[in-house]
Structure 1
């Protein structure tokens, strides 16, 4: 999916995924673990948010 404001987005309703940053890019990899909505609680990662906002600003202002 692609959000007009924040750019690429990812949503999953049945599986767990790991997000890793490598060389300035984010990689999303399935862990193979099935989860329910009650199993996962979003956690704010300010480093990731800062990186995404900065990257989006650079693209938007270019």
Structure 2
């Protein structure tokens, strides 16, 4: 019984560590993309944006609103 509780605890701790690493990796990626000197975006096969750097988002919104 104690062994399974320890295993459960270790699994939860490992998941927390992995989630933290993933979040930091995503933050680093977003920082690189948002600070790029060129426009960075991803589209699907129908040319629908599913990732767009924030400065480019703002520029496109301003163009649409004009």
Q: Which has the higher contact order (CA 8 A, sep 6+)?
A: 1
Q: Which has the higher strand share?
A: 1
Q: Scaled by the length of structure 2, what TM-score is found?
A: 0.27
Q: Which has the higher helix share?
A: 2
Q: Scaled by the length of structure 1, what TM-score is found?
A: 0.29
The structure with more radius of gyration: 2
